[in-house]
Amino acid sequence: MLIYKTAQELRAYLERTENADKQVGFVPTMGALHQGHLNLISRSVEENDITVCSIFVNPTQFNNADDLEKYPRIPERDFELLQSVGCDAVYYPDVNDIYPNGPVTREYPLGEIVEPMDGKFRPGHFQGVATVVHILLDKVRPHRAYFGKKDYQQLLVIRRLVEAENLPVEIVGCPITREDDGLAMSSRNLRLDENQRRNAVSISKALFWIRENAMTYSVPTLIEKGREMIEKDTGLELEYLEIRHANTLTELTEINPGTPSRAFTAAFCGDIRLIDNVSLFR
C-alpha cells in the first residue's frame, strides 16, 4: 500500500501508464478507522481496480474547536487496517495541501436538506463538508466514492453537491455497521468511557423500537417514547429525535409504508456527540 502526503504525488501514481484505464474507487475519511470504514474500503476494492482512501480531519466542518482538538488521530493503526483489507493508496495530506491559502468554506446551493437536524444544530457544518469533499474529489478524480449511511444527511448533501457541480462521480451509499449490541460504529466511540459506552446503546435501541412500532403509534408518541428510552437513567442528553422523509428530509406527521421514512437522532454522552438513524421500512 502506498501513502502519499500530497495530491501531486497521488495524481502521479494514478496517472501512470499502467493505471490509465483503471476504475478508481475512493473512500474519504477522517481516520480513527473502524469496521464501518473497512467495509466501505472492501466494497470499493470489490467494485474497482484501484481503491484510494483519504485521512484528513477537516477543520471547516467542526463548529466546536474542542471537538476538533479531541477528534481521535491514530494514523499508524489506520494504515495497518487499510492494508489488511486491500486498500491500494492512502492520501494523508496536511492542511496546506487541502487549503493552500488557509481553511476556507465555499457556499454551495445545497437547498433545504441542510436546514434540519445537524444543519440546525451545527451551523456551517454541511458547507464545510461539501467544501472538503469537492476538493478531495477534484484531487482524486474517482469513478465512485463511498459513504456510510450513518451520516445519512451528509450522504444526501454530497449527492446534492455532485448534482450542483456536475461532478463525474458515482456516489455509493453503504449500510450502517453496528456493534454486536446495536450501537452504530463511530470514531467518536473511542472516547466513551465504560459507563458511557454501556449507556450509548440506548440510542440504537430507541431507534429500533420506533421502527418496530412505526405502524402502531402516532409520530408524536413514537418520538416521546423514543426520547424517554434514550434519556431515562442513562445520563445521555438528547439533541434531536425526528422522523423524516428519507429523500427530502421533510418532517413527517404520519407514517405509511408507501413513503420512504427514517428516524434520526443525535445525543450527547458527556461532551461526546453521537448520531444514528434507521429506515422505518426495511
What residues are labeled active site? 37
- Residue 28 sits at the vertex; the CA angle it makes with 124 and 196, to the nearest 5 degrees, is 70
Question: Hey, what amino acid is at 198?
Answer: R
Separation of alpha carbons 262 and 64, rounded Å: 27
Answer whether 60's CB lies under 8 Å from 134's CB.
no
Considering only CA atoms, which of 108, 110, 75 is closest in space to residue 91?
75
Q: Name 135's Cβ contacts closer than 8 Å, sequence gap at least 6.
A: 98, 99
Separation of alpha carbons 143 and 162, rounded Å: 12
